[in-house]
Amino acid sequence: MAKLGVCMETFFTDMSYEDRIKRIHELGFTNYEFWFHNKRFDGSNLTNEDKDFERIAELNDLYGLTCTDFVFNHPDGGIAAGLIDKNDQNIILEGIERIIEKAKIINCSGLITTSGNRKSNLSGEEAVCNMTETLKIIAPVCEKSGITLLLELFNTKVDHPGYFLDDPNTCIDILKAVNSPNVKMLFDIYHVQIMSGNITGFIRKNIQYIGHFHIAGVPGRHEPDKCELNYAFIINELDRLDYKGYAGLEYWPAVDSSLSLTGTKYYLEGQTGEQD
C-alpha cells in the first residue's frame, strides 16, 4: 500500500522539530515531511526559523526515518516565488540548486512546488504558459539530481483564496506539457475533494502523473476516518493500482496528536493489513 508519512507541521505543534521527529518515530512511522526550510509553524503562526539540516540528517539515521519531501517555493515560505510570475523565474532558477543541496543532506527526494497567487494583470493562459516554461527549465536540474518536483494545487473555496492552481485538470495539462518523469502532481485529496470531487475517477485516469498524496478529512481537515470521504476505499484503490509511493497525513488533529495519529495509522493500514 501507499507508505504513510506524517506532516510534522500539523502535529505536536508545541514541540521543537527535533522532538516532533522523535515522537513520529515512537508512534511507529518511518516517513515524514515538513513545510519550509526557513519557517517554524506553532499551530497558528509561521515565524522565521532555519531548520538544522545536519541535525535532521543525524535524527533520520538514529531513528531510521525518511523525510519524503518539503516545500521548495511558496508565497509564505521556502523560496518566496510563484511559478506563474515571469518576474520570479530567476529567483526560482537561482533557488532550486540551493534547496536541492539541503534536500541531499537529509536524503530527501521530493520538493513541493506551488503556482503562487493570482495576479490581476495576468491571464489564466499566461499563468499556465509561465508555469510550464519555468518547470521545463528546472526539470533537467531535478532529473540530474534525482529529485522529484511535486506540483501542488490548493482549494480556493476554503483555505487558499487567491491561489492560482486550483483545478486538477489544469495541473495534469501542465505536467503533460512539461513531460518530465521528475515533475509530478502532489494530489492532496482534501483540496481536490473541495474543488471538484471525483477523487477515485481522477486517480484511476491520472495515476501515472501523481507522485505523492496528502490525506485529510473533508470537511474540517481533521481525521480521515471521520469524514464524508471513504478513505478505506481510496487506500484499497491505490493498492489495486499498485501505487507504492508516499501518502502524507496533513490534517489538523481533533484530539491529542499521538492519539489521533495512532488511530489513523491503525485505520488506514488496517485496510490491507500491511505496515509502512
Say which DSSP state 79 is in. B
User: Which of 116, 115, 101, 186 shows the shortest CA–CA distance to 147?
Assistant: 101
For 50, which DSSP code?
-
Question: How far is Cα 194 from Cα 203, in angstroms, rounded to an integer?
Answer: 15
Alpha helices by DSSP H, 36-178: 53-63, 89-105, 124-145, 168-178
* Other Cβ atoms within 10 Å of 48 Cβ, number: 9
Residue 101 a catalytic site member: no
> ω before 140 within 30° of 0 (cis)?
no
The DSSP bridge partners found for residue 214 are: 188, 248
Helical residues (DSSP H) of the chain, grouped into ranges: 17-26, 53-63, 89-105, 124-145, 168-178, 189-195, 199-206, 231-240, 257-269
Give the residue from 77, 144, 150, 135 showing the smallest Cα distance to 104.
Answer: 144
250 in catalytic set? yes
**54: exposed, middle or buried (C-beta count within 10 Å: 0-12, 13-18, 19+)?**
exposed
Q: Which helix (H) or strand (E) holds 41?
A: strand 39-41
Catalytic residue from among 9, 33, 223, 250: 250
Asked if 34 and 72 touch (Cβ cutoff 8 Å), the reply is no
Phi and psi torsions of 34, nearest 5°: -145, 180
Q: Which residue among 9, 33, 152, 223 is the active-site one?
A: 152
Tell me which residues are annotated as active site. Answer: 152, 250
